[in-house]
Amino acid sequence: MIVGQQKPFEEIWQMVKDHRQLTVFGCNTCVAVCHQGGNKEAGILASQLRMRATQEDLAREIVDSGVERQCEHEFFERTDELIRGSEAVLSLACGIGVQFMAERYPKIPVYPALNTTFLGDVPEVGLFREKCQACGDCVLGVTGGVCPVSRCAKRLLNGPCGGSTNGKCEISKETECAWQLVVDRLEALGRLGDYEKVMPIKDWSKDRAGGPRAFRLEDF
Amino acid sequence: MVETITGSRLEKVLKSGHQAVTSECGPPRSADASHIIKKGHLIKDHVDAINVTDNQTSVTRLCSLAACVHLKLQGLDPVLQMVVRDRNRIALQSDILGAASFGIQNVLCLSGDHQRFGDHPQAQNVFDLDSMQLVQTVRHMRDEGKFLSGDEIKQPPSMFVGAAANPFGDPFKIRVPRLAKKVACGAEFIQTQCIYNLDKFEKWMEGVRERSLHEKVYILAGITPLRSVGMARYLQKNVPGMDVPDELIERMKGVEKSKQADEGITIAVETIQRLKECKGVAGFHVMAIEWEEKVPEIVERSGLYPRPQID
Ligand code: SF4
Ligand code: SF4
């Protein structure tokens, strides 16, 4: 899923403080799982903003709302009117939701309340880890199901580099060395010999290097 | 006359069966090349080739390519170090052509430290290729006369291709397979991480010999003299992939401060003497970081001087 983190409150306030009316708008799927962007967080953020406005003696009308997913048209029916009537929207979706709204409501300024951080999993409650960078040409089949593109700090395809120490990455003792994980996993699968297969030079044109990607289902 | 592919002095020394000696110079953090030229002259009679580091530890410096050109113009044999951190395949191939156009005949293909350690931790990194793929790239350019794209290179670069190996990095079980992989990619010489844990290094070499890798690639053992007990401790604690045994720290500690540097040199000399007997070690890469003036002494005391006269 997509993981995001709320921007510092001060940064959010500076972005939106000049609008007399504001709708704080949650997205209740991915970024709700990480308790940063759901409809509940939208409610909390709206009241923080109202408090701040009162402290600064500014007359502001701040409402909160949200949808299940800010990246698809069908979820907007109920809230369409509210948004069309807003002077500005503060979106708690990931960068995709913010852009989708900006495109859907061309005349209404939409501001991001989150920093979209990565595509990750939830190995335990309250912990999120990056797992994929959507490189467009997945190599998990040859790396024992551990992604070196997103999890190795140098995205080495034939690693590990010389900096791997006690299973940790050279960049920090808190970061697992992806290649230690690859090797352990290959060994557990009885496939350590596969490590010696040289991974070919990657075609990054399927990644961001190829420009914005799109794909269309033909039958729809 | 031994048969060589590239005309590199390093290649000639190795192929004629001598134990080679290389060293390295770090370029300055300025546009003044006199500094690196001076360093080159300090060591030139005691080494066969001089590596020029490429923005080592991710700190911005005068570029490796330009520094190599300066050394080449002084009649020295430089080894162009290239990290894949800062350039994509277009820039890497273009720099290889540029280096070859100045008669630079050795290249060392590296991944490079992560930029987090350097002076620009906010920088974007590239890592389009990895170090093994860079080895393949240079060999492809030289042997097939082609770019990665498949387009022909009218005058291919003539480069002796090297890579690094760290026998002390983890996981240890793939350290020999990793070397095998670099050999399979086309590495012709290897320079290793600084060796302080000799037992572990010899164990690695055993694995290397079991697979006869030493017959396919020239392995130069990495030697860095310790200057003080503080440096030894720093390397042990703070440099990832570095293995400094406690005994060595004790040994440095047992010597009074003013004599520690000499002790460090003695340790380096003893290391070389022991490894000269290690089958499969084809030479030494003496990295005296910002202490180049000591290289001649180390080389002489280790019995590696004079260097063979080639051509
Ligand atoms: S290889 Fe690419 S697609 Fe597969 S998990 Fe890694 S980044 Fe995602
Ligand atoms: S230590 Fe491991 S994860 Fe970190 S850069 Fe090196 S190979 Fe990648």
- pLDDT value of position B1: 66
- pLDDT value of position B76: 96
Query: In 3D, which of A71, A63, A64 has the Cα closest to residue A30?
Result: A71
pLDDT band at B290, cuts 50/70/90?
confident
Task: Specify the residue with its C-alpha closest to ligand 2, atom 8.
Answer: A152
As for ligand 2, residues whose beta carbon falls within 6 Å of it are: A 152-154, 156, 159-161, 163-164, 169-170, 177-179
Cα(A73)–Cα(A90) distance, rounded to whole angstroms?
A: 18
If you ran DSSP here, which 8-state letter would residue B19 be given?
Answer: P
Task: Specify the residue with its C-alpha closest to ligand 1, atom 5.
Answer: A132
Query: In 3D, which of B229, B154, B214 has the Cα closest to residue B183?
Result: B214
Beta strands in chain B (DSSP E): 20-25, 49-52, 78-83, 106-110, 160-165, 189-194, 218-223, 281-286
pLDDT band at B2, cuts 50/70/90?
confident
**Burial category of B173 from C-beta neighbours within 10 Å (exposed 0-12, middle 13-18, buried 19 and up):** middle
Residue with tokens 């807003």: A86
* pLDDT tens for each residue of B203-241: 999 999 999 999 999 999 999 999 999 999 999 999 999
Q: Between the CA of residue B206 and those of B14, B118, B201, B269, what are the distances in Å?
A: 21, 35, 9, 22
Q: Which of B81, B134, B136, B170 to mutate to test binding with chain A, by most A CBs within 10 Å of its CB?
A: B170
* pLDDT tens for each residue of B49-69: 999 999 999 999 999 999 999
Question: Do the strands A110-112 and A114-124 form a parallel or antiparallel pair, or are they unpaired?
Answer: unpaired
* Residues of chain B contacting A167 with CB distance shorter than 8 Å: 170-171
ipTM field: 0.93
* pLDDT tens for each residue of B121-138: 999 999 999 999 999 999
Beta strands in B127-278 (DSSP E): 160-165, 189-194, 218-223
- Chain B stretch 238-277, residues whose beta carbon is closer than 8 A to a beta carbon of chain A: 240-241
Is 90 exceeded by the pLDDT of residue B199?
yes
Token readout for B26 is 């770090």
Q: Per CATH, which fold does A2-118 belong to? A: Rossmann fold (3.40.50)
Please report, for chain A, the start and end positions of each structural domain, with discontinuous segments joined by +: 2-118, 135-206
Element (H, E) at B261: helix B260-276
Find the mean pLDDT for residues B145-149: 98
Cα(B124)–Cα(A57) distance, rounded to whole angstroms?
A: 43
**Which chain A residue has the Cα nearest residue B177?**
A196
Q: pTM to 2 decimals?
A: 0.96
CA-A132 nearest atom, ligand 1:
8
User: Which residue among A132, A182, A205 is best mutated to probe the pocket of ligand 1, counting the most ligand atoms within 8 A of its Cβ?
Assistant: A132
Q: Packing angle between helix B131-139 and helix B175-185, nearest 10 degrees?
A: 30
